[in-house]
A and B are shown apart, each in its own frame.
Chain A
Amino acid sequence: MTLTAYALRRIAAILIILAVLSLLVFGLLALMPGDPALTLLGPKASTPEALAAVRERFGLNDPFLTQYARWVGNAVRGDFGESIYSGDAVTTLIADRVGVTAWLAVYALVLTVLVAVPLGLAAGTRTGSRTDRAATAVSLITLSAPTFAVGFLLIYVFAVKLDLFPSFGAGDGFFDTLWHMTLPAVTLAAGQTAVLLRQTRAATMDVAERDFVTFARARAISSGRIRQRYLLRNASLPVLTSAGLLLAYGLTGAVLVENVFALQGLGTLLVRSVAQLDLPVVQGLAMFTALLVLLTNLVVDLLYFALDPRLRRAAVAS
C-alpha cells in the first residue's frame, strides 16, 4: 500500500467517524429535556406565534431522520445555523475565534518542543545525572502547578511589575500577536513541557539501551551524532504521538489559559455556549473540534511514514 493509498484510507475513516459523530451531536438537541423550540428560542419571548415560527423555521415538526438529513446537508455546505443568543452564524463565531486558538496552540507547542525535546534527550541519555534530576524536578513542578496560578504569576511579574508583555488580549498583526501571545503560550507550554519531557526521556532511555546504540558508541561515533541520528530519530515516534495529542488539546481550546488571559478562543466560546444552552454553537464547535483532532492525528500518522523508513517499507510490502 502506498502512502497515498494509506492517506486516502485514513481520510475515508475520518469521514465515517465524522458521520457517526454528527449523529451523536445532532442527537443532543433531540435528547434535551423539554421543547426544542423553547431551547432554540433561547432568551427571546416565547409567545405561541414565536414558538410556531421557530418550529416552522427549523422543521421541528418533521421526523428525526428528516431533520438530521437536513442538518447534515446544511453542515456539508458549511451552514451550522445561527447562535440563538447573538443571531450570528455559527461558522462566523468559530472563524472569529479559531485564529486565536490556533495561535495559542501552535506557539505553545513550538515552545514545548524547543524546551522538552533537548532536555528530554539529555535527561534520557544521562539518567541520574544532575541534568536528569533537574529536568525531573522542573517537570514535576510545572505539571503540578495550576494553570491559572502560573498565568496570574506571569501576568503579575511580566505585565504589571516589569511591563514587558500585555496582561490580556490577542493583539493585531503578526508581531503584536506574537507579543500578546507570549505569556499565554508560556503558561500553556509549562504543563505541556512536563508531559513531553517525560515522554522524550522515557523513549530516549529505551533507545539508548539498544544494541545499535552500544555498537555506535563502540565505533567511536560522536555523542552528538549518536543523539541526532540514532537516539532522536528512533525516539521520535512516541514523542511525535505526544506532541500531536498536545496540539489537539491546544486546538480544542485551552479553556483555563484563554480565560486567564481574556482570549476569545474556541475554549471560551464552548464554555459559554454550553452554559447558555446555545445548542447550534455547541453542535458546530463539537463537529469542528472533532475534525481538528482527527486531522491532527492524520498528520501525525503521515509523519510516522516520513520519519521511519521501516513503516514505509512495511506499508509497501503489505
Chain B
Amino acid sequence: MRGFTRRSAIALALVAALGVAACGGDDDSSGGGGGAGVEVDKMVWAIQSPVQSMDPAIMADVPTLRAQTAAFDRVLSIDNNGVVQPWIASKFDTSDPLKLVLTIRDDVKFWDGTAMTVDDVVYSIARHVGPDSTSMQSFNFAAVTSVEATDASTVTITLAAPDPGLPAKLSVWAQVRQQKYDEAAGEAAGGSDKPGMGTGPYSITSYSSADGVKLTRNDSYWAGKPKVKELEFKVIGDPDTARLALSSGEIDGFFDVPLIATRQWDELENGTMSYVAGAYNDFLSMNVTRAPFDDVNARTAIGHLIDRAGLLGPLFNGKATVAQSVVPAIQMTATFGDDGAKKMYEAIGALPEFSIDKAKEALAKSATPDGFTLDLAVDTSQPWMSPLAQHLAENAKQVGITINVKQVSAADWGAGLLDPAGSPLQLVALGAATPWAGELPPVILGTTAGFPLAGYGDEAIDGLVGQVAQAATVDQLRQPLQDLLKGATADLPYLPLFDEQVATAIANKFVWEGGYAYYALSQAWPLQLGGAG
C-alpha cells in the first residue's frame, strides 16, 4: 500500500486499477475491536510527512491516509489475506457486474452521538463520483454512474462498465463522513478547523499539518473500543531522527522504514521490526514507440546490464526479491497459489540475465550497434533509484551506451513519466492494494492503459488486456494473463526489477495483533494495537 501513494501522482492513480475479485460477503460478527494486548494511555506514531488533510477528497498520500484511516470508518475492509470483507456495510453483493449493492449497518453512530444514516454513506461515496466531482479520488470511481439509497439500509452503486476493483477501492476511499458536518464546514472541511465528523474508532482531538494529529478513543465504537486511549501522529521527516526518537522512547512506532537503512533499525533494543511482502514492484520502462527502444535488441541489451540479484543486498538489505514479472509476487501467489505461480513463471519465461557480453551481442544486432545516449531521471525520495541508475550507467558505458543520471524531485519524476518529450527510459515504482494478479497489467499494458509508460500495445495485446481487466475469477484470469505476461517478457517493454517488502518498527511495550499487514490501510488498524502488558 505504501508504494502506490508515497510514490507520487503516477503511483496514486494506480488505485484506479484495483482488480480484486469480490463476489460479495456477509458480516457474521459485530466487529473486531479491542483484540490486542492490554489497555494503554497513549501511543505515538511518527510519519514521514505531514498529514495534509483529514479528507481523502483533498489529499490521501500514505502518511495522510495513516491518520485518516485511524479515525474514519470505511464502507468495506480488506483482511490480512487480501480478501474484501464487510465493515460499515454488513453485506455486499457483486453478483451483477454492473451493480454493487451494500447493506448498511444500523448500529453505527458518529462521534457526536447522532446515528449514521444511509444518506451519509451515499454522500461519502457519491462525493468522489461524476465529472463535476473535484475529489482527488474521482478517477478511482470513473466507472460509477450513480450512488443511490435504495431503501433505509441499502445503497446501490451502478456502473457503466464492470469494475472488479470497486469493493477494494471502497475499503480505502469511501471514508464515512457526516454530510451535515461537511456541508456546514464548506471548503474548510478536512482542514485543521473542521477536520470532519466520522464514526471510526478514534475521534479527532486536534489536527494541523504542522503539529500532527491527536486522536481520542471512541468509547462507543460499534466494533468494540480500542485498547489505546490516545493515538498521536507526529511528523519526523528524517528516518534517522525517528530511529533515535524510538530509541529514547519518545515515539512508539514508525511506518515505512527505508529498506536501505533496516540494518540500523534491526539493532533497536526497545523496538521490533516487522517485514511483510508488499504488493508492488519496481521496474524499468523502455518506450517501444521511440528510438532506440523501438528495437527489441536495444531493450534486451539494457535488460542484460542490471545485476538485479546482486543489488538486493546493497539497495534493500536483502528485504526484497528479484521481480519476475510486472505482477508483484505476492499477488501471483495469492491468486494462483504457490504451485500455480510457479507454473505461471515457467510459462511466461525468464528475463535477461546479467551479462555484459550478452548485452554487447544484443546491441550489435540492434539498429544502434554503436550505442546511444539517454537521460534517466531518478526520484531522490526513493533511495534505491539513484544507486541502481548509477549501476546501470556504469555497465552501459562498457557497451557504448551513455546514460546520464538526473536527480529530480518526486514531483518532477512523476511529471516526467508521462511527458511525451521526456526520456524513453524511466525507472518506475508501482504499487497495488489488492492480492489480485490482474490488477496492475491493465494499468501499464495495452493502448488503453491508464499509464502507457512504454507505449506497448496492439490489437492482440489489447484483447488480452481486456480479458485480464474483465476477469472475475482465477480461471478467467489465468490464460489471458499468462499470454500477456509471456509476450511482455519476450518483448521487454518493461524490465521488472524488484518486489520490495514493507518495514514497520514498533516499540516493544506495544503489540500489533497478528503483526502489521500490507492491507492495514484498508482496515480499522488501531483496533489491533495494545500494550504488551
Contacts and interface: CB of A to CB of B under 8 A. Distances in A.
B134 A85 contact: no
Contact of A166 (B46, B131, B250, B411): B250
B247 A160 contact: yes
Contacts of A155: 241, 244
A244 B133 CA distance: 50
B187 A167 contact: no
Nearest to B52: A86
Interface in A58-89: 83, 85-88
Interface string B233-267: 01111101110110110100000000000000000
B241 A261 contact: yes
Contacts of A272: 49-50
A136 interface: no
Contacts of B131: 47-49
Q: Which residue among B134, B137, B187 has the maximum number of chain A CB atoms within 10 Å of its CB?
A: B134
Interface stretch (A92-100, A209-217, A292-300, A303-311): A92-100
Interface residues of B, number: 43
B411 A259 contact: no
A156 B134 CA distance: 46
B407 interface: no
Contacts of A45: 133-139
B45 to A, nearest CB: 13
Contacts of A49: 131-132
Interface in A146-172: 152, 155-156, 159-160, 163, 166-169
Contacts of A317: none
Contact of A86 (B58, B132, B234): B58
Nearest to B133: A45
Nearest to A159: B248
Contacts of B238: 259-260, 262
B191 interface: yes
A30 B187 CA distance: 26
Contacts of A259: 237-238
Interface stretch (B65-73, B203-211, B322-330): B203-211
A202 B302 CA distance: 59
Given A43-B9, A45-B134, A167-B244, A264 B411 contact: no
A275 interface: yes
A262 B235 contact: yes
A168 B237 CA distance: 11
Given A97-B210, A167-B250, A260-B241, A86 B191 contact: yes
B75 to A, nearest CB: 20
B30 interface: no
Nearest to A82: B187
A44 B209 contact: no
Given A45-B135, A53-B134, A87-B53, A168 B210 contact: no
A277 interface: yes
Residue from A49, A83, A93, A167 with most neighbouring chain B CB atoms (10 Å): A167
Contacts of B59: 43, 85-87
B471 to A, nearest CB: 27
B134 A169 contact: no
Given A96-B210, A262-B235, A276-B411, A87 B58 contact: yes
Contact of B409 (A152, A260, A268, A275): A275
B355 interface: no
Interface in B78-107: none
Contacts of A152: 240-241, 244
Nearest to A99: B210
A156 B244 CA distance: 7
A50 B130 CA distance: 11
Nearest to A86: B52
A159 B244 contact: yes
A87 B186 CA distance: 12
B417 to A, nearest CB: 14
Contact of B134 (A50, A160, A275): A50
B402 interface: no
B211 A264 contact: yes
Contacts of B187: 87
Given A152-B244, A277-B411, A43 B136 contact: yes
Contact of B209 (A96, A160, A275): A96
A14 to B, nearest CB: 28
A169 B409 contact: no
Contact of B138 (A47, A93, A261): A47
Contact of B241 (A47, A167, A268, A276): A167
Given A45-B138, A159-B244, A96 B211 contact: yes
Contacts of B381: 275
A97 B209 CA distance: 10
Contacts of B236: 168, 262
B134 A44 contact: yes
Contacts of A274: 409
B410 interface: yes
B12 interface: yes
B467 to A, nearest CB: 28
A145 B299 CA distance: 45
Contacts of A48: 131
A92 B188 CA distance: 12
B374 to A, nearest CB: 21
A264 B50 contact: yes
A-B interface, 3 closest residue pairs, ranked by CB to CB distance from nearest: A96-B210, A264-B210, A262-B236
22 contacts: A43-B12, A47-B131, A49-B131, A53-B134, A85-B58, A92-B192, A152-B240, A160-B244, A163-B248, A166-B248, A166-B250, A167-B244, A168-B250, A260-B241, A262-B236, A262-B242, A264-B210, A274-B409, A275-B381, A275-B410, A276-B410, A276-B411
Interface of A: 43-45, 47-50, 53, 83, 85-88, 92-93, 96-97, 100, 152, 155-156, 159-160, 163, 166-169, 259-262, 264, 268, 272, 274-277
Interface of B: 9, 12, 46, 49-50, 52-53, 58-59, 131-139, 187, 190-192, 208-211, 234-238, 240-242, 244-245, 247-248, 250, 381, 409-411
